[in-house]
Amino acid sequence: MPQPVGTLRHQVTGDVYAEVQTFYAQQMRRVDALDIEGFADTFTEDGEVVHAGGQRQRGRAEMLAGMRASLPRYRDIAVRHWFDHLLIESDPADEDVLHVSYYTLVTQTDREGQVTFQPTFTVDDVLVRVDGRLLTRSRVIHRDAPVEPPAAS
Amino acid sequence: MPQPVGTLRHQVTGDVYAEVQTFYAQQMRRVDALDIEGFADTFTEDGEVVHAGGQRQRGRAEMLAGMRASLPRYRDIAVRHWFDHLLIESDPADEDVLHVSYYTLVTQTDREGQVTFQPTFTVDDVLVRVDGRLLTRSRVIHRDAPVEPPAAS
Amino acid sequence: MPQPVGTLRHQVTGDVYAEVQTFYAQQMRRVDALDIEGFADTFTEDGEVVHAGGQRQRGRAEMLAGMRASLPRYRDIAVRHWFDHLLIESDPADEDVLHVSYYTLVTQTDREGQVTFQPTFTVDDVLVRVDGRLLTRSRVIHRDAPVEPPAAS
């Protein structure tokens, strides 16, 4: 029996936590290699991405077109997406559906080795397990914004 | 049976590793949202924090006062705490007590998207599992300092 | 039975994922503390490192000499290695051999707390489990380089 954990309502096991981390490790290697076809293949056919600016891409064809349009900005830089603080909950109605939230830091290293950073983001994904393999069904990307500090009480 | 791992004297299972990561994912979302009440609730009533400068806060009331005083410095920036290299050992005398050490990187993103960094830190926590839910009982924050390279031998 | 995951051909369990993360947490604490003897002890006797520039060190004696020569560059800075996106596969022929790939970000913090970054790297390791304890048998470090965006189709 797995140890009870109980921090989330539907806390996943260590095996599922490792499965999800492995999925992202593969997905990010593809996007960081500008392998946009391979990246699109990590989404379901009807997969959807809502970007931080509000732009919505639905389906692999739209995603590919969007990525192809943004490729020139990655000329001469090596981009890497870093994740942290994954929250993973399996759907109570379907254990093959996972709700995942995580922090993202994006580095851009130029040919001289200088590293610059994009703003930080928080991402909400829905993953589905199809034939034992995870795919992203939806992704909503939020750019991290300052919050108004609560008033002194 | 879980696979033997044996790297630490009291190496935790994958389930506990995921439990602890999930706990921090939730705790950091609260502190990064400046939800100081929600953050304080992730500590035990007698929880204690020793800051890198040596300042010690004991109990939720003292922690809240300290955090409230530092809120103005987070106006107009989105702060994010990034963790890495967790070492987790369960207490040999009580499996509901966990000794955890980790690296922390802190990003501050302003409204224009410029990212700046605080110095890096290493943190030592004691977590306790109460009614199946983790809480921080103590936290000691160390600012990373240069070490004197060993003399050539 | 662990849950089937199936993302990799030989996807490891949550327990092994935690074991490997713990191994690196310990190994990086040693290198970041400039504990070069302790760091060398995390490699097999015949351990080999191929650096991003192509330099190859084989065996602990060569590794120690190389690290000793590079120590002066860490005077007055606190270096920290951050890992992400671990891909871990056990060798189909020997479950005590693990093939691991990961992203690395290296921070350097000076005495004033200013943080600078080395270029980002991707690392391929072979780990072996000897008497229940992991050791690095080989490490190949790749500096992340821009990729040529695919031509528009």
Residues of C in contact with A36 (CB under 8 A): 150
Whether residue A30 lies inside any domain: the answer is: yes
Give the distance from residue A64's alpha carbon to the nearest chain C alpha carbon, in angstroms: 11
Provide the pLDDT for residue A151. 66
What confidence score (pLDDT) does residue C65 get? 94
A77 touches chain C (CB under 8 A): yes
Chain C residues whose beta carbon lies within 8 Å of the beta carbon of residue A136: none
Q: How far, in Å, CA of A141 to CA of A101, rounded?
A: 10
What's the average model confidence in pLDDT over B39-60? Answer: 96
Q: Average pLDDT, whole number, for chain A?
A: 91
Residue reference for tokens 């987790």:
B88
Which residue is closest to B89 within chain C, CA to CA? C22
DSSP state string for A75-142: TTEEEEEEEEEEEEEEETTEEEEEEEEEEEEEEEEETT--EEEPPPEEEEEEEEEETTEEEEEEEEEE
Q: Residue B8 falls within a domain, yes or no?
A: no
Could you read off the pLDDT of A130-147 as tens digits, one per residue? 999 999 999 999 999 999
Other beta carbons within 10 angstroms of residue C123's beta carbon come to 19
Q: What distance lies between CA C39 and its chain's CA centroid?
A: 11
| CB-based contact, B22 to chain C, within 8 Å | no
On chain C, the residues whose CB falls within 8 A of the CB of B152 are: 68
CB-based contact, C26 to chain B, within 8 Å: yes
The predicted pLDDT at position C2 comes to 37
Give the chain B residue nearest C65 (alpha carbons). Answer: B152
Evaluate if residue A3 carries a pLDDT over 60.
Answer: no
Write down the pLDDT at residue A150.
Answer: 73
Q: What pLDDT sits at residue A9?
A: 60
Chains that touch B (3 or more CB pairs under 8 A): A, C
ipTM of the complex: 0.92
Tokens representing residue A22 in the block: 């492995």
- Residue C143 forms contact with A (CB below 8 Å): yes
The domain that holds B62 is classified in CATH as 3.10.450.50
User: What residue in C sits closest to A109 (Cα-Cα)?
Assistant: C119
| Residues in chain C where the model's pLDDT stays below 70 | 1-10, 151-153
* pLDDT, tens digit (0-9, with 9 covering 90-100), for A54-101: 999 999 999 999 999 999 889 999 999 999 999 999 999 999 999 999
Distances (CA, A) of A29 to A80, A99, C40, C122: 8, 21, 29, 10
C101: left (phi over 0), alpha (psi -120 to 50) or beta: beta
The predicted structure's pLDDT at residue A94:
95
DSSP assignments along A3-50, one per residue: PP--SSTTBPPHHHHHHHHHHHHHHHHHHHTT-HHHHHTTEEEEEEEE
Put simply, whether A52 touches B (Cβ < 8 Å) is no
Domain extent, residue C127, equals: 14-143
Hey, is the C-beta of A29 within 8 angstroms of any chain C C-beta? Answer: yes
Q: How many domains does chain C have?
A: 1
Nearest CA in chain A to B96: A5
Q: What is the pLDDT of residue B148?
A: 84
Helix ranges restricted to H, B33-104: 36-40, 59-70
Interhelix angle A14-32/B14-32, rounded to 10 degrees, is: 60
- Chain B contact for C5 (CB, 8 A cutoff): no
Closest Cβ opposite residue B120 in set C22, C84, C107: C107
Q: Is residue B153 part of a domain?
A: no
Chain B nearest-CA distance from A62, in A, is 27
Q: Is residue B68 assigned to a domain?
A: yes
Mean pLDDT of B114-123: 98
* Nearest C-alpha in C relative to B88: C22
Is residue C152, in this structure, part of any structural domain at all? no
Q: Has residue B136 got a pLDDT over 50?
A: yes
The answer to whether residue C64 sits within a structural domain is: yes
